[in-house]
Structure 1
């Protein structure tokens, strides 16, 4: 039964009345239906729909949409059509100018889209490469090895506690974080939000007394001691510099093993093994005693560890550079929109 839905036709503009203050709108390129929670606008013949789609996402207009929305909190704000239709904004007098602005921004969006696909393809390549460079569950030989190690034999199965020492960090509270603090620090939640397998630059700082904290050694591998899910907790980062304060709820592993190699290994083919030993449901814990018993296959030669780590970290550098290009393009578009559309008019 489609009677409660709204019909949409090509070049109609659809907006989410509950999220217009976030710029939730777009142009339809097909005929179809949408939920009655949405508002459908059919531009008159002299108006260019893609111009308006971009214009509705302009910062100045989003601020107006916020002011005209009704509701107690942002979660309940709603921009009803009578309020929306009463908003006054400056409009180009010539349709050609609308078309030119829309074409400029849509062309840039195509470039951004291509760059986003490139970044995603590199990330997928890395994911597949990690699966090949480390042994699969129950195996002791990776499917892909560098030529000089193909005759080196199977990897040796060891327990994590046999090849290194595991300790815990010390608490660094949110109030201890200072933007201009003298001591770099890492809190466990940042492993989920800021860091990949290798930490070279630290995002947080503190003025807490170093004598009351645990400071990193070069090549330390840090693993969260708690998290929201068993899959998420199976993450790790190698701290490549010494003297970084490591917060509580962090397991710290130190060994002669290449730390970057181990961090990639944990985030790759060891992820499932770690999730199996983690305990808890609403809050998941990963204890030192559990990590010590974790079995993993280790390459017989340290140089193989180093080669794998270098291969993946080099790929991460490429991904980082291409991600920076993507961010730069997005910032270019944001700045361009500021220039192409008028500022607030009283």
Structure 2
């Protein structure tokens, strides 16, 4: 169906450098002719909304322990009505914008734009998140330093946007919603394959790091519930004998967004970025040495093992290894290995379920003291190395299959990004194709496209930024 899309037969210059040619029956209008400003307060009982850097606006999940559980004074929070556009003034240039799914509250750090009668908010949410439009947003944003630029309403309403006829806007949004749902199903299937392969790999690893490679080895009770009996020659020691543990530092929103600075500053969401399946190869934020000192942020050395220490993220039992010196935020803990082979200690840590040793309470969490006392069973260095070499050989084909599945997902997402850009800017005509598609699309299906998305939280913005109401 998508293969049948063709360019428009007649085009004209748009007058916008980022847009180029556009269909001859389309127009260009400033956002002030498409949207009005909504500034309404005094609705404290509405749910609080948050905006994602990629997938739009959602109701904030207060059950997720990695986020603040208490809101401050809601009197300054703005009402956003279902169907409005909401964006984060400081992160619009990164795509922190979307359609409001339900009536709710947003931080004063957000702008709420009410679509006029002939404006389809869903179409413009797609347009606003294209890379070309985000670059245009950046030129209209103002601030002391580029990474902290804000897009105020007065500037937003001056930005020129492409304007298809209203019914065509709706058809474009319908096709992209449908394609998003189909893409989400395909990605979900790939992720299920990855999960099964990883389960197979973890079973192999678990057997090797708890029993060794000799099936006939004599065993002894370890005194630890999770490995049970272990080979006689292995030592049972607390983790503090092997490594030091230290939590990260607070990371104010005012310091986030820095690119290509001295030191990566990692958040839990960075552990989910493509390429970060074991070693941290990518990150969304960095800071200078001077800022690190000002924040009191410890710089963790290369080869530190990091893991989430609070909330639902902790329960996933994810572990990663730093490839370079980095700072980590206060939802993460670092493990600097002093004794043993780092990859082997990493695999040993992966076998520990922190949920079973975390502090009791509504939000699961684990502290440095608890982690240090966790007991593990370890072979001698020579045997650690043999186990690592055997695992590398035994799991290589699984890793290749997982990497192939991830590369397929990346290609699928790349195709969708290109399709969105081509469709919303009038490079491809969707009218005849979209007319035959259903209007309603399950929201959950589209959410799958950004399962590991990063959210900008209203509470943090209020605490760390003084924002003009």
Under a length normalisation based on structure 1, what TM-score does the superposition of the two structures give?
0.55
Aligned to 1:134: 206
Report the Cα distance in structure 2 between the residues aligned to 1:325 and 1:253, rounded to whole angstroms: 33
1:219 corresponds, among 291, 303, 306, to 303
Aligned to 2:466: none
2:268 corresponds, among 176, 179, 189, to 189
Report the Cα distance in structure 2 between the residues aligned to 1:285 and 1:128, rounded to whole angstroms: 28
| Bigger Cα Rg | 1
SS for the counterpart of 1:285 is coil
> Is 1:205 aligned to 2:286, yes or no?
yes
Aligned to 2:192: 120
Cα deviation, residue 330, structure 1: 3.9
Aligned to 2:370: 290
> Is 1:270 aligned to 2:270, yes or no?
no
2:322 corresponds, among 227, 239, 254, to 239
Cα deviation, residue 130, structure 1: 0.8
Report the Cα distance in structure 2 between the residues aligned to 1:208 and 1:174, rounded to whole angstroms: 17
Report the Cα distance in structure 2 between the residues aligned to 1:333 and 1:191, rounded to whole angstroms: 22
Pair 329,140 (structure 1): closer, same or farther in 2 beyond 3 Å: closer
1:256 corresponds, among 322, 339, 345, to 339
SS for the counterpart of 2:335 is strand
2:406 corresponds, among 319, 323, 327, to 323
Pair 235,333 (structure 1): closer, same or farther in 2 beyond 3 Å: closer
Contact 2:239 2:372 in 1 (8 A): yes
Cα deviation, residue 275, structure 1: 1.5
Pair 184,120 (structure 1): closer, same or farther in 2 beyond 3 Å: farther
Report the Cα distance in structure 2 between the residues aligned to 1:340 and 1:265, rounded to whole angstroms: 55
Cα deviation, residue 279, structure 1: 0.6
1:182-223: per-residue Cα shift (whole Å, max 9, x none)?
123344433665454331333321135244432222221123
Please identify, of 310-319 and 177-186, the stretch whose mean Cα deviation from structure 2 is larger. 310-319
Cα deviation, residue 151, structure 1: 6.9
1:310-344: per-residue Cα shift (whole Å, max 9, x none)?
46995556524432322312432564573251499
- What aligned pairs does 1:80-159 form with structure 2 within 5 A after superposition? 88-89=167-168, 113=186, 117-135=189-207, 140-141=210-211, 145=213, 154=231, 155-159=234-238
Contact 1:181 1:205 in 2 (8 A): yes
Cα deviation, residue 91, structure 1: 12
Report the Cα distance in structure 2 between the residues aligned to 1:181 and 1:334, rounded to whole angstroms: 24
Aligned length: 245
Report the Cα distance in structure 1 between the residues aligned to 2:252 and 2:170, rounded to whole angstroms: 51
Pair 117,157 (structure 1): closer, same or farther in 2 beyond 3 Å: same
Q: Could you tell me which runs of 5 or more consecutive residues in structure 2 were left unpaired when the two chains were aligned.
A: 1-54, 56-81, 85-98, 105-119, 121-165, 219-230, 435-469
Q: What is the aligned-residue RMSD (CA, Å)?
A: 4.5
Contact 2:266 2:326 in 1 (8 A): no
> Is 1:341 aligned to 2:430, yes or no?
yes
Pair 286,175 (structure 1): closer, same or farther in 2 beyond 3 Å: same
Q: Could you tell me which runs of 5 or more consecutive residues in structure 1 were left unpaired when the two chains were aligned.
A: 1-21, 23-64, 78-83, 93-100
Report the Cα distance in structure 1 between the residues aligned to 2:392 and 2:281, rounded to whole angstroms: 14
